[in-house]
Chains A and B, each alone.
Chain A
Amino acid sequence: MEAKNIKVAGFGGQGVMMFGQILAYSATKDEINGLWFPSYGPETRGGTANCSVIVSDKQINSPVFKNADHLVAFNAPSLEKFKDHVAKNGLILYNSSLIEDEFSQDGSTVVGVPINDIATELGNDKVANMVMMGAYLELTHLFSDETIEAIIKKFLGERKAHLLDVNKKAIQSGKDFVKKLGVKYA
């Protein structure tokens, strides 16, 4: 697998950091290399919290990249901030529950997913990030359901183990939404 540079951004509390970490943990579980780093401190104030993820089966060199292969934007300020830093033939996945105007960009595959609406339908607003995860995996096929499920289990721990089902449902709903759209990326 060629190295993938992934930027995940949104409001604090939308599960942005967790989204990125799940990808890095999944890479490690699949015995390839994962790297995650957060924006931290004052730069996270005022709209966007973001993290960078790199997954690769080779040694990862620069932790810093100019252009992301994949941008996952959970809100409008994040899309605005990072849309010009997407690599050619890149993927832009955005939250169409919060970004109402349809968005498109030349040279990129752009997919909007109403993750908050879908999560509300599932009865748990907090799994919106897992709806996004489902859509992301359906488009990129980076990791198997088994890998992702194992990592989510670890995140939930014993205390929140009962939430595994709704998280799995959220991932499936994200996948189904993309399938229904008929968009293909990788």
Chain B
Amino acid sequence: MAKVLMKGNEAIALAAIKGGVDAFYGYPITPQNEVPEYLSKHLLANGKVFLQAESEVSAINMVYGAAGAGKRVMTSSSSPGIALKQEGISYITAAELPCLIVSVMRGGPGLGSIQPSQGDYYQATRGGGNGDYHLIVFAPESIQETIDTIKESFDIADYYRNPVMVLVDGLIGQMMESVDFDRPKKERFVPEKDWATNGTKNHPGRRNIANSLYLDPAELEQHNIKLHQKYEVIKKNETKFELIDFDNPEYVIVAYGTMARICRSAIEMLKNEGIEVGMIRPITLFPYPEKAFEQIPENVKGILTCELSMGQMLDDVLIANNGKHKVGFFGRAGGMLPDPEEIVGAIKNFNERVVK
């Protein structure tokens, strides 16, 4: 198929359909409304489930129910809405149910703004729900990469029995780009859902239960260890990143999503001025690509972390760097987007940006 021009949010919706989504449960919030709008038309027209819930809290719990029933199910929301979903996300993860959660970030904290932001890095990677759990978090940088990720996300979620979060900012949701929906998808083994709560007649002799309650501490510890071991496997298998212009960089930028694209242009501008800058672009935020940092040459002058927030991924950069190189930070927040020239300036004045 030839490329089509499509708005990010609509592309998310269509990619989910291509990925085999059976049901969507959500609640309106800007800037992701085109996701449910598109799905409301196209899911119902194809005999699938679309339901606008009474709240984000309810929507994520409907996701729990349908995921437990063994279906491919998703929700989408934006920052304050994702905050409300944290309770359900913790339960779903604890009950080891697969689903897709799309988070289209806007400025925060609180009601914040509706402009693009990356202020929910902690929310996505550290979680606001209770307990030791992780989502598999993808942070694509373009609508094309978002489509490719979402098409694959149900396979990944089903394989690990864990929610996948696709984390983009409002710009990716609101902009339009030329995209191709028919790029080949990675073939993955998708196990049968013999654990689904779909009635004992479908699995005689065994009751299937979706549950996160373990009152016996020893039993709960075993459950936590099991989850932890799963996350270790996910770290090994699913960590994804891109190295850009890594031949002989003077500086290394670390950026994800829209910010990475802005930095790509800055890197070109710097190259034209004779300054070689490379970039680590994390594609998964959990697992975080700590391994990529081992490939940073010894002699780089520093690592500049660039974010649309006040320094959240910076924590992971500092952990991965482990004191080896100087680390600097550049951030814009609240919905403000820097132009590439600002990144150029930040690299040129790196020493002013070093994190003490």
Contacts and interface: CB of A to CB of B under 8 A. Distances in A.
B286 to A, nearest CB: 25
A142 interface: no
Contact of B115 (A25, A34, A41): A41
A48 B174 CA distance: 18
Contact of A62 (B115, B177, B262): B262
B30 interface: yes
B178 A27 contact: yes
B58 interface: no
Q: Interface size bucket, A side? A: 20 to 34
A63 interface: yes
Contacts of B265: 61-62, 65
Contacts, number: 79
A82 B3 CA distance: 31
B355 interface: no
Interface of B: 2-5, 30-31, 113-115, 171, 174-178, 258, 261-266, 268, 337-341
Nearest to B8: A37
B174 A38 contact: yes
A33 B340 contact: no
Given A61-B268, A63-B171, A64-B262, A40 B178 contact: no
27 contacts: A21-B5, A21-B176, A24-B178, A27-B178, A32-B178, A33-B177, A34-B178, A35-B176, A35-B178, A37-B174, A37-B176, A38-B175, A40-B31, A40-B114, A40-B174, A42-B114, A60-B177, A61-B268, A62-B262, A62-B263, A62-B264, A63-B171, A64-B337, A64-B338, A65-B265, A65-B340, A66-B339
Given A41-B115, A62-B340, A66-B341, A24 B261 contact: no
A2 to B, nearest CB: 12
Contacts of B339: 62, 64-66
A62 B261 contact: yes
A97 interface: no
A106 interface: no
A32 B5 CA distance: 11
Nearest 9 CB-CB pairings of A with B: A37-B175, A62-B265, A66-B339, A61-B264, A28-B178, A28-B5, A61-B265, A36-B176, A62-B262
Contacts of A32: 178
A165 interface: no
